[in-house]
Amino acid sequence: MKIVLPDSAKFVINTLEDNGFECFVVGGCVRDILSDRKVHDWDFTTSATPDEIISCFTSYTTIDIGKRFGTICVVIDGENFEITTYRTDGEYEDSRHPETVTFSKNLKDDLSRRDFTVNAMAYNDRVGLVDEFDGLKDLQYGVVRCVGEPDVRFTEDALRIIRALRFASTYGYSIEPKTSESILKNKDKLSLVACERVVVELNKLLCGDHVDFILRRYKDVIATIIPEISIMFNFDQKSLHHNKDLWRHTVSAVKNTPKNEVLRTAMLLHDLGKPMTVSTDKDGHCHFHNHPKLSAAMATTVLKRLKYPTAFINTVNTLIENHDNRLTPQSAVVKRCLCDLGEENMRNLLSIQRADILAQSMYKREEKLSTLEAVYNEFERVISSGECYSLDTLAVNGKDIIHLGVQSGQLIGEVLSKLLDKVIKDELKNEKEELLFFARHYIDSVEGMR
């Protein structure tokens, strides 16, 4: 396949070459262009040192984003290009980042330090494709294979373990047997890697098309990051609603969920509390009372430990806590849920509920799906009709209640939520006069009782 570089990439390469240096595009962008995928960022590797790179681009803004590791960012027409000096990585401490790097004048040194053969190819128009490790063949067959000895490479930097699974999940690659064996053998080293780095890869892995295969085959690797999931492995749910053990159900639910980090993480952890809440009835069927609440609490613990952003954790928590809510298509039920969760969370809730149902047995499936669809239709109707379901759109506000002579903040809140409740249940129209009339009576009756 012919590689066509964008003009901006050609410009970077030509500028360095005109100054007597070598320069190539390298890594993910070469892999992606050879697979006919859109390239999201062009990375360059060069024989120039960081100071030499800067001196070649004096008329452009350059940003030192890691001079010690050899990386300079050049801004051309508002676009950032990362240019890194050929380097070999020095000693690794505890399977983390290299402590030191050594710059080199040899492209092969730089390609040898890269993780997988498909990520270790370089290209420029003058030399063509530089493929020292048969990356093109692995790309054609869809294989993740370590550059060099897998045990050595995973020991140097254990992040590569989860990166291998990420590439397999997103691109459907298979993992070469020796690399795969080494992943399982070295999996515990992942716990040495900074969790921020692991989470970036885990999120990408979860959003892959082939996530189901990876979560099944490499569940023990994922369990080194989230040990709590082990309790789901082979857990027999003994329920008419389920024909899979808890982990296989979870994996299938993740796969059925839209490719979104928050939603897929919520699905990964949605039933974590089931084994701890199980009870068995006289017919031998299992029940899991209150498991959503426990699962949500456990998920929050996991995600806090892995330093996820607070907003991410809160959304996952809300979705898990509500994942088993049996919604019905009545307007009042839908509006109450909208009021409690907000539009975006409720839309997401409906989509994970669908994924959950599709990961269950066929028992009552049609019934569950058609109820869910009716709920969804009612949800869309409420949204597009502009009918009131929250305090924001209630026809009276706190000031109106104060005008009725109420001073206590608590009573104002109580009156407003009573009014909203009546509007949601369609017992009162969302009209100012009618609401104020009811509010006056309500306040009188409350004050009379006090």
Residues contributing to the site for Mg ion (CB under 5 A) = 28
Nearest residue to Mg ion, by Cβ distance, number only: 28
Which residues touch 302 (CB under 8 Å, ≥6 apart)? Answer: 226, 228, 269, 272
Q: Which of 27, 50, 70, 292 binds ligand ATP (CB under 6 A)?
A: 27
> Nearer Cβ to Mg ion, position 30 or 215?
30
Q: In which residue are the tokens 């669908």 written? A: 354
Shortest distance in whole angstroms from residue 74 CB to ligand ATP: 17
The least distance separating Mg ion from the CB of residue 258, rounded to whole angstroms, comes to: 24
* Interface with ligand ATP (CB under 6 A), residue from 12, 21, 28, 262: 28
The count of residues interacting with ligand ATP (CB under 6 A) is 10
Residue 157 contact, options ligand ATP, Mg ion, none, Cβ 5-8 Å cut-off depending on partner type: ligand ATP
For the chain, the 3-state helix, strand and coil shares in percent, each to the nearest 5, are: 55, 10, 30
Write down the least CB distance from residue 115 to Mg ion, Å. Answer: 12
Chain positions 398 to 427 lying near ligand ATP, rule: CB under 6 A, are none
CB of 330 to Mg ion, least distance (A): 49
Reference 274, options 303, 305, 234, 309; nearest CA is 234
DSSP-assigned letters across all residues of 258-311: -S-HHHHHHHHHTTTTHHHHEEE-TTS-EEETTHHHHHHHHHHHHHHHTT--HH
Pairing assessment for the beta strands 79-85 and 43-46 based on DSSP bridges: parallel
In the complex with ligand ATP, the residue whose CB is nearer, 155 or 330, is: 155
* Measured distance CA(301)–CA(307) in Å, rounded: 10
If phi > 0 it is left, if psi is from -120 to 50 it is alpha, else beta; for residue 136 that is: alpha
Of 382, 389, 387, the C-alpha closest to 420 is 389
Amino acid at 188: D
Q: Which partner, Mg ion, ligand ATP, none, binds residue 110 by CB below 5 to 8 Å per kind?
A: none
C-beta closer to ligand ATP: residue 114 or 335 = 114
CA gap 399, 402 in Å, rounded: 5
Helices (H), 21-87: 28-34, 50-56
Give 13 or 302: the residue with its C-beta nearer to Mg ion: 13
Buried b (16+ CB within 10 A) or exposed e, 4-15: ebeeebeebbeb
Choose the binding region for ligand ATP from 113-121, 302-310, 330-338, 427-435 (rule: CB under 6 A): 113-121
Bridge partner list, 122: 26, 130
> Near ligand ATP by CB under 6 A, which window of 67-75, 111-119, 122-130, 421-429?
111-119
Nearest to 44 by CA among 11, 18, 77: 11
- Look at residue 115 and give the partner it binds from ligand ATP, Mg ion, none, a contact being a CB closer than 5 to 8 Å depending on partner kind: ligand ATP
Task: Determine contact, residues 152/160, Cβ cutoff 8 Å.
Answer: no
Please identify, using beta-carbon distances, which residue of 115 and 400 lies nearer to ligand ATP: 115
Pairing status of strand 278-280 against strand 286-288: antiparallel
Nearer to ligand ATP, 27 or 208 (CB): 27
Beta bridge partner(s), residue 23: 46
Residues 148-207 that bind ligand ATP (CB under 6 A): 157, 159-160
Question: Least distance (Å) from Mg ion to the CB of residue 26?
Answer: 10
- Of the candidate spans 54-62, 114-122, 264-272, 395-403, the one that interacts with ligand ATP by CB under 6 A turns out to be 114-122
Choose between 95 and 250: whose C-beta lies nearer to ligand ATP. Answer: 95
In the complex, least distance from residue 360 CB atom to ligand ATP, rounded to whole angstroms: 33
Task: Find all residues with CB under 8 Å of 312, minimum gap 6, and list them.
Answer: 261, 262, 265, 303
Nearest residue to 170 (alpha-carbon basis) of 133, 135, 114, 119: 119
Q: How far is the CB of 250 from Mg ion (least distance, A)?
A: 30
Minimum CB–partner distance for residue 169 and ligand ATP (Å): 12
Binding ligand ATP (rule: CB under 6 A), the pick from 87, 114, 255, 354 is 114
The torsion defined by the Cα of 290, 262, 219 and 113, in degrees rounded to 10, comes to -160
**Residue closest to ligand ATP (Cβ):** 28
Judged by beta carbon, residue 131 or residue 157, the one nearer ligand ATP is: 157
Residue 84 C-beta: closest distance to ligand ATP, Å: 9
CB of 41 to Mg ion, least distance (A): 5
Q: Which does 323 bind (CB under 5 to 8 A by kind): Mg ion, ligand ATP, none?
A: none
Q: Binding string, 117-136, against ligand ATP, x = CB under 6 A?
A: --xx----------------
Q: Which residues bind ligand ATP (CB under 6 A)?
A: 27-28, 43, 114-115, 119-120, 157, 159-160
